[in-house]
């Protein structure tokens, strides 16, 4: 691997930053300590610092020369509401919160690139270092876009990166066009009539109705969506009642939906509404659907996907960059930014050892080995996009 020498020299510093962030995880729109750390580092490096974009978002601006060209580099900062199972010294100090997706590593890689670019200034134009809050289902990218991040900080192109457990260290993967699914969350509130648990005939049981709805929802993908249009409908929540001997008045079924086309998400919502109301009516109950589209599908621009792949190949060799990587059913709200500016998103290998822990798992940890590699890619993207002459 051709890691940038200066970035390799600050590997220990980056590891320290990453582990500090890991030990102090913060949920979406609550990343105050993390934002303070990011802002302090950017100022220390010599960047202009702008805060409060998307509530807790931070943007660092680095201008060199007089070219009007600009590029955006983005990292996410938030953690997840998970109780950490790891026992190492830098495990989460906050019960019920942990960096189980590697955003601590993403933030650190972008800080490493900012430090290097501020020292070397080997480009002509403006780099915007975009540190985004609330990626995990709360709409941080959408909030930054709505608050004018690209009006205040123009970007000719924008790039992002995510660690990929199961992909070997030193490898990258991406694809042109749709790469990650769009997604949403849903809740279906089923209302019946409460009764004594020993006298079900006197009530309308919303638990039974909601159970049938949960099962019927699984027919949407198999019977309403074309087999070539991949989609997922998963019921992940079921809440009803508080007592063993009471049939409750209300039950709520919730979950998530993923698809690679916005039209497919719309079709799922339409069929979900039909099934919920129809099945509930069959039991004498009523059902109301709350369907929330959170992320559009993530679509890589063809030219920028080739550009980031070429930059990665300079670091690790073309044989270690998969330009036709797998479609990823998970969602990523960087898609909001890619809907406004051409750009691309790439996966960086977090390790493929047997039993490697996947993201959103209480035993996950970001692989500090790849910090200089990710920082080098961010740096090369800026230097290549804003090359002198």
Q: Is 261 left (phi over 0), alpha (psi -120 to 50) or beta?
A: beta
pLDDT of residue 79: 98
| Residues 139 and 12 grouped into a single domain | yes
> Would you say residue 354 has pLDDT above 90?
no
Question: What are the pLDDT digits (tens) for 314-333?
Answer: 999 999 999 999 999 999 99
Among 269, 295, 321, residue at a domain's last position: 295
The pLDDT > 90 percentage for the chain reads 95
| Residues 224 and 127 grouped into a single domain | no
What's the number of domains the chain is made of? 2
Q: Please, are residues 29 and 135 in contact by the beta-carbon 8 Å criterion?
A: no
| Residues 150 and 189 grouped into a single domain | no
| Residues 367 and 258 grouped into a single domain | no
Task: Report the C-alpha gap between 265 and 255 in whole angstroms.
Answer: 14
Question: What are the pLDDT digits (tens) for 230-277?
Answer: 999 999 999 999 999 999 999 999 999 999 998 999 999 999 999 999
| Residues 91 and 41 grouped into a single domain | yes
Task: Report the C-alpha gap between 244 and 256 in whole angstroms.
Answer: 28
Which CATH number characterizes residue 278's domain?
Answer: 3.30.70.360
How would residue 80 be classed by pLDDT, with cut points 50, 70 and 90? very high
pLDDT of residue 127: 98
Which CATH number characterizes residue 335's domain?
Answer: 3.40.630.10
| Residues 144 and 260 grouped into a single domain | no
> Would you say residue 355 has pLDDT above 80?
no
| Residues 223 and 160 grouped into a single domain | no
pLDDT of residue 389: 79
| Residues 154 and 27 grouped into a single domain | yes
| Residues 68 and 100 grouped into a single domain | yes
pLDDT of residue 218: 96
Question: What are the pLDDT digits (tens) for 61-79?
Answer: 999 999 999 999 999 999 9
Among 295, 317, 350, residue at a domain's last position: 295
How would residue 164 be classed by pLDDT, with cut points 50, 70 and 90? very high
Question: What are the pLDDT digits (tens) for 92-123?
Answer: 999 999 999 999 999 999 999 999 999 999 99
pTM for this entry: 0.91
How would residue 353 be classed by pLDDT, with cut points 50, 70 and 90? confident
| Residues 348 and 324 grouped into a single domain | yes
Among 259, 277, 295, residue at a domain's last position: 295
Q: Is 154 exposed, middle or buried (0-12, 13-18, 19+ CB in 10 A)?
A: middle
| Residues 169 and 50 grouped into a single domain | yes
| Residues 145 and 278 grouped into a single domain | no
User: Which residue range forms the structural domain that includes residue 146?
Assistant: 5-177+297-385
């Amino acid at each position: 691997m051709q890691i940038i020498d200066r970035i390799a020299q600050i590997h220990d510093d980056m590891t320290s930053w990453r582990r500090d962030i890991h030990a102090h995880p913060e949920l979406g729109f609550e990343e105050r300590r993390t934002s303070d750390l990011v802002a302090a580092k950017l100022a220390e490096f010599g960047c202009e610092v702008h805060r409060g974009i998307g509530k807790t978002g931070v943007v660092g601006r680095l201008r060199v020369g007089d070219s009007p060209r600009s590029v955006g580099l983005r990292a996410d900062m938030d953690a997840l509401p998970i109780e950490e199972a790891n026992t190492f010294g830098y495990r989460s100090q906050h019960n019920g919160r942990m960096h189980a997706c590697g955003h601590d590593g993403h933030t650190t890689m972008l800080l490493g690139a900012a430090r290097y670019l501020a020292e070397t200034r080997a480009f002509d134009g403006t780099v915007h270092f975009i540190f985004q809050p609330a990626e995990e289902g709360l709409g941080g990218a959408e909030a930054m876009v709505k608050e004018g991040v690209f009006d205040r900080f123009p970007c000719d192109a924008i790039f992002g990166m995510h660690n990929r457990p199961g992909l070997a260290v030193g490898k990258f993967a991406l694809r042109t066009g749709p790469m990650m699914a769009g997604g949403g969350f849903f809740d279906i509130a089923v209302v019946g009539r409460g009764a004594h648990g020993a006298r079900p005939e006197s009530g309308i049981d919303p638990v039974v109705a909601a159970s049938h709805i949960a099962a019927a929802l699984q027919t949407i993908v198999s019977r309403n969506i074309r087999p070539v249009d991949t989609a997922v409908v998963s019921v992940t929540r079921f809440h009803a009642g508080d007592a063993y001997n009471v049939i409750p008045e209300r039950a709520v079924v919730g979950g998530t939906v993923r698809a690679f086309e916005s039209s497919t998400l719309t079709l799922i919502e339409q069929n979900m509404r039909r099934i919920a109301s129809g099945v509930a009516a069959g039991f004498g109950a009523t059902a109301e659907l709350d369907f929330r589209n959170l992320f559009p599908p993530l679509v890589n621009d063809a030219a920028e996907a080739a550009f980031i792949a070429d930059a990665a190949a300079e670091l690790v060799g073309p044989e270690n960059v998969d330009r036709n990587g797998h479609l990823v059913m998970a969602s990523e709200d960087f898609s909001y930014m890619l809907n406004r500016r051409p750009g691309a998103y790439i996966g960086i290998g977090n390790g493929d050892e047997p039993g490697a822990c996947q993201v959103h798992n209480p035993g996950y940890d970001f692989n500090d080995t790849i910090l200089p590699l990710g920082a080098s890619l961010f740096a090369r993207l800026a230097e290549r996009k804003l090359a002198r002459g």
